Amino acid sequence: MKTLKFHIKNQINQREFKISVALLYALVILAFLQACMVNYKFPYVMVRNSAENSLIIGISSRVAKMMFVPVIPLIATTMCAGCRKNSDLNGNGLFSLLRMNKRKYITGNAAAVVLITIITVFAALLINQVLCCIAFPMNYSSNSYGFARYRLLQTDYSNYLFWFWYVQNPYIYNIFYMIIISLLSGGFALLSYGLCMLPCTRKLKGAHVSVLSYGLIMVVSILGQVLKVKSINIFLLLEEGDIASLSDGIILLVILYAAGIFMTEIGAKYYGKI
């Protein structure tokens, strides 16, 4: 536990983390401000509830959402890039101050990368929802699809992920998507960290590996869209309302985390002990 705390403290003090978090929170606040501007001209009775003005499902913040979906993988892969310094990989940095082997150090760093990314992304999305709860009504009689309530209950969208919860309580629906986006972000971060551990990327800077990881994520997602393989279509899971299944999300998470763990293990084995 002390080792994990050490890694977390080290990572949040990095410049890359601060810049990535600033961009992330700027996006969620932009989404809230956009929702406020769009709804300002409407009478109160026509304003949708706070759940449906959030970044997750809000039509009023659609522009911010269009920016958020393609950018969040880049933010996730860059957020903890500062912890992957060549001095550490070569054993000339923090290794000399710690009584542990490189395998334990690298594994602890990987765990901290995932934990920090998941918590940071979830907190940002939750703050957006809280701001919307302050500014907009809390009832959920309206819906972002524009259906009358009785039509919404009668419409069969069972092929949409978490549709039941959207009908019953959109706040729980939003939380489910917050969790999915946060877990995917943790997978992106771990993938980037694992890629940096490979011998072939040893000389690259953390920022360069983050961009390389983002490019790989984009290629895989486009390939999934072209081949119509939902389990590797990353943006299908990041974009609420798209047709996807829970099994597709689980498969994607398993692929991301397995790939990140596999590359991290190769890096840990390659660099051996101090």
140-192 per-position pLDDT tens digit: 655 555 555 555 555 556 567 777 777 778 899 899 999 999 999 999 999 99
CA distance 104 to 58: 43
Report yes or no on whether pTM surpasses 0.85.
yes
**What pLDDT score does 274 carry?**
41
CA distance 160 to 245: 7
- Where helices occur in the chain by DSSP H, the ranges are 2-12, 15-39, 62-79, 86-89, 102-135, 149-154, 163-168, 170-197, 206-227, 234-238, 246-271
The packing angle between helices 102-135 and 170-197, to 10°, is 150
With contact defined as beta carbons under 8 Å apart, do 216 and 256 qualify?
no
Alpha carbon distance, N-terminus to C-terminus of the chain: 21
Residues (pLDDT < 50) of the chain are 86-87, 90-93, 96, 273-274
* Residue 243: DSSP 8-state: B
**What pLDDT score does 50 carry?**
87
**What pLDDT score does 145 carry?**
53
The set of residues, in sequence order, having a beta carbon less than 8 Å from that of 39 and lying 6+ positions away, is: 47, 48, 53, 60, 136
The set of residues, in sequence order, having a beta carbon less than 8 Å from that of 91 and lying 6+ positions away, is: 102, 271, 274
**What pLDDT score does 148 carry?**
54
CA distance 39 to 33: 10
